Structure formats: structure tokens, C-alpha cells
Structure 1
Amino acid sequence: MSGSNAQNAVHLVNKYIYLIIGLIWGVSFSTALVGYFFAGYAWTGTWCWFPEQALYPRYFLTHGPRILIFLIIIVTYTSLFIKLKREVTSKGSEKREIKSFESTHETSSQVNKTVNKMLIFPAIYVLLWSGGMVNRLLDATTGATDISRFLQGFTQFIPFADSILYAAVIGLKKIKIGDSTTNEFKSSQA
């Protein structure tokens, strides 16, 4: 993203920040109220949630959106990866005619590494969420089992994986470029 595009995006978010926050809280609060009025809440382990017999509210208000987001992430990253791979492959062959083989090979290799690194987030996300998805499907069809409860445990590692990926991708990038991302963000807010 170029500097002016980044500044425009930051300006747009700052302009509509209260609307964005309101929508996030509004959706969360309204789904909680709908769940309360249609299904009620009961103790389930260490927190309150819909009772076991309230299968439809569980899937409509919680599992359904999660499954949809899960599928959207898979489709988005897969299509983006395919598009970038095609573009890198086609541009790599065009540049070989103009430049020497060594310089083009290094550039194409670096771009390929970057494109492949893009798969880290969706691969970890799919891996960690798969256990929870299997658990939800087993719970809806055959009931909870010890194996499905074990699989559900992997979803607890998602925030940990997010923080590791953030540190690896964003944190290291800031160290390399001298924290210019933060400085650019601060100057666009002024």
C-alpha cells in the first residue's frame, strides 16, 4: 500500500471510528439479547451460554457466523494466492527476456517467498479452527464426545498464534524499517 493510500485509509477509519465501534458493539449486544430472549442462558462449564436443547440459536447466532468467516477466509486466501502466483509466474517470464537471469531469479524468488509466507496465517487459522468446527458438527449430530471436546481445546491457541504471527510479521518489519510505519501513522493523524 502506498503512503497516500495508507493515509486515506487511516483518515477514513478515523472519520467513521464511532460508527465502526457502534456497529461492533451493536451486533454483539443485539445477538446477545436475541439469544437471551429466544433461548435463554444456562451454565455450561465455566461460563454461561445457550442450553444444550437450544440448537438453532447456537448455530444461527454463534456457530453459523464462525463457520461463514472460516469459509470466507479459506476462499479469500486461496483465490488471492492463486492470483498472485499466476501474476508472479507471468511477470517472471516477461522480465527474463529483458534482464539477466540472475537478477530476475533473485527477484522472483523473493516474491515467491513473500507469496508463500502469506499462507502462514490462513494455514494456522484453519488448523486451529478445524478442531472446533469438527466439535460443533459432532455436537450437533451425535452429541459431545471426549474426542470432540479435546479437539475444541485447540481453538484456545488462536490468540496465542495471532500474537506470534503479529510479532513475526509486523514486529520484525518495524525493526527492519526503523519503525517508519508507526511514524507514518502518527503523522497522518496530525
Structure 2
Amino acid sequence: MCNNQHFTFIFPGTQLILMLSEYDEIKSFRHALVFNLALADFINSFSNTISGIIYIHNHELLAGPACTFDGWIGQLSVQATDFSILAISLVTLTVVLQKNFATEASTLSKTFICLSVWVIPLITSTVAASLGEMKPVSGNWCWIAKDRIDLRYGLTHGWRFVIMLTTIIVYTYIWRYLSRSGLRFSDGSSNGNQIKRKWYQRKNSTQLQNGDSQENLSTPLSSFNTQTGEDDQTNKTQVIRTEATVASDYILEQKKKTEREIKHMLLLSGYPIMYIILWIPSIVNRIFEATGSTAVSSRTLSLLQVPAQFVGFCNAVTYSLILIWRGRARSGVR
């Protein structure tokens, strides 16, 4: 939310456009979660751009309805980003533990989870605005007044600390769980095995029918009833084997689908990882401020806040990298 952030809304905005153009993925759970995150990033970046332009034009921001609205939007969107990260983490954990969750979740449950991301941000931003505590801060944007440290920690920083800690715990558990369970993702070779099995089955069936025909031509009429009984038994056995093969293929296909969904959800871990990395310097800043330490210069404290302002940009880059990976995977490039 510094002056160098005036036009970073372009990155999450471009991401939103790309996501809306992905018709095949639009019903995907992971797509909805990432779209939620990108929307929050875009709203925050666009709001910062508007307030930055006003600051450049007037050389200051004045307290009032416009500043209150800017602070309300900023609090809402930034905290929605926090809770979007938490939602991605918890849904990933659920998919890993309940492997059919993502594929079997109803549209209603997906909508509920995505909307729940905005509930607490809406409450905290409305509380701060209703108390009249949205003031110009740090030059080009409005937020909770500097002298209301209690509100800043109670409505924003405290929640963020909990979300970051929870996210770290969740992903630590996920990776430990996967390493202990020995889960391995198929590399697609099972398709070839299924095709070979089906071809072999058809070949045997054809040979069996040809053999029966030739044998029937040379079989005396007196043995016709005996041969018919044997053919019936053979056909029944073949039907049972065919049904078993179909069931086995269905189970394998469902397993592959589940593994693919888990793999795609694990790719989303890039968002929480970047989020935590970028927010760590800002958290250090908050610690220095809370302790009243004078060992660090004000310039250094300001610089510590800069990385967190690029969360939206890094989320857009992460999305682009995931798109590239998926494209390479679909084309068979490793």
C-alpha cells in the first residue's frame, strides 16, 4: 500500500480475466478458491491505485467519508486475502484426508466455503468504519488510526498471526501425512495396462468363438447337448471376467481422478507459501512496533512493510506458473 503500488491491480486483474476464460475449470473447487483470492487482491490493489492517484493530485488525503470508504475497502480486501489463504489450506487438508471431497462436494458447499471467506473481513471492516477510526495513514491510503493499536491488533494483526500459524501447522501436517502414508501418484502407465488387458480379453473371446464354431462343425449330433452345456458355462465365466474387468477399470479410473485432484490441490500450496514469505518482514515490523524498540531506524521499519504489498503480484505469478505446469502436463512434456 505504498506509492510503488499504484498500478499493481493490473496483475490480479489479468488473472481474473484469464480465470473467467477457463470454461473447463470454472466449476472446479480449486478454481473457485483461487478466483476468490484473486478477487480480493484485485479489489485491494485497485483501491490503493485510486487513493494513490488522489494523493498525487492533492498531495494529501483528508479524513472524511471518502477516506472511511477507502479504509473499509482496504480492510475488507486485505483480510479477505488472509482468509482465502486459510480456506485454501483447510480445503487442501480435507482433500488429502477425504480423497473424494473435492470431486463430490456440491455446488452449495463450494459456494458456502467461498462466501465464508468474506464474513469476518466484512465484520471487522464495518466495526472499524462505524467507530469512525478510519484515518489517513502512511501517506497514500486510509486505514485504522495509528493511535488505535488495540483495533489494529484486534481486527487485523491478531487474525493474521493466527492464520499464518494455522497455515504453517496445516501444511506441515499435510506433508508429514503424505510421507507417512506413502502416497504415490500414477504416471499414466496404467492406461496402457488397461488397454492391453482389454485387447487381450477381446482376442481371447474371438479365439474362443472361432474355436467353438470349428468344433461344432465337426462334432456329432449325439454330443450336441454336452457341447452346448460346456459353451454355456464358458460364456458365463467370460461374462463374469468381463464384469470384473469393467469394475476394476472403473476403480482405477476413480483412483486416478482422485490422485489428480490431490495433486492439483497441492499445487495451490504455492499461494500460502508466498503469502507467509512476503508477510514475515511485516510481522517483524509489528513486533518492533509493539515492543517500542528503537534499535531499528524508521526507514528500515518502512522497508520491512514493502514485501507484503506484492502479495497480489506474486499470487498472479504463481497462477501463471501453475497454468504453464498444467499445460506441459497435458501435452506430455516432463
TM (norm. structure 1) is 0.63
Aligned residue number for residue 322 of structure 2: 169
- The match for 2:104 is 8
Query: For 1:172 and 1:125, how far apart are their aligned partners in 2?
Result: 20
Change (3 A) 1:46 1:70: same
One-letter amino acid of the counterpart of residue 177, structure 1:
R
What 5-or-longer segments of structure 2 have no aligned partner? 1-94, 185-262
State the match for 1:74 in structure 2: 168
Tell me: higher relative CO, structure 1 or 2? Use CA pairs within 8 A at least 6 residues apart: 2
C-alpha spacing 1:122/1:4, structure 2 compared with 1 (3 Å)? closer
Change (3 A) 1:145 1:56: same
2:304 maps to 1:151: yes
The 1:72/1:42 distance shift into structure 2, 3 A limit, reads: same
1:124 aligns with 274
**How many percent of aligned residue pairs carry the same amino acid?**
26
- Measure the CA separation in 2 of the matches of 1:31 and 1:117: 31
In 2 relative to 1, CA 86–7 (structure 1 residues): closer, same or farther, beyond 3 Å?
closer
The aligned residue for residue 148 of structure 2 is 54
**8 A contact 2:275–2:311 mirrored in 1:** yes
Report deviation, 1:149: 1.2
Specify the code of the residue in structure 2 equivalent to 1:41.
M
Residue 289 of structure 2 is matched in structure 1 by: 139
Task: Give runs of aligned pairs for residues 21-60 of structure 1, distance below 5 A.
Answer: 21=115, 23-38=116-131, 40-44=133-137, 45-60=139-154
Whole-angstrom CA distance in 2 between matches of 1:5 and 1:123 = 23
Unaligned regions of 5+ residues in structure 1, if any?
A: 92-113, 179-190
User: Partners of 2:119 and 2:173 in 1: how far apart?
Assistant: 31
1: CA distance, partners of 2:118 / 2:168: 26
Partner of 1:52, secondary structure, is coil
- Tell me, yes or no, if structure 1 residue 65 matches structure 2 residue 159: yes
**Cα separation, 2, equivalents of 1:49 and 1:121:** 25
**Which of the pair has more CA radius of gyration?**
2
TM-score by length of 2: 0.39
Task: Spell out, residue by residue over 1:107-144, the C-alpha distance to the aligned partner (whole angstroms, 9 max, x if none).
Answer: xxxxxxx7x97875544332211011111222222278
Q: Which runs of 4+ in 1 moved over 4 A?
A: 1-5, 23-26, 116-122
- C-alpha distance 162-118 of structure 1, shift in aligned 2 (>3 A): closer
Which residue of structure 1 aligns with residue 51 of structure 2? none
Quick check: 2:267–2:322 contact (8 Å CA) kept in 1? Answer: no
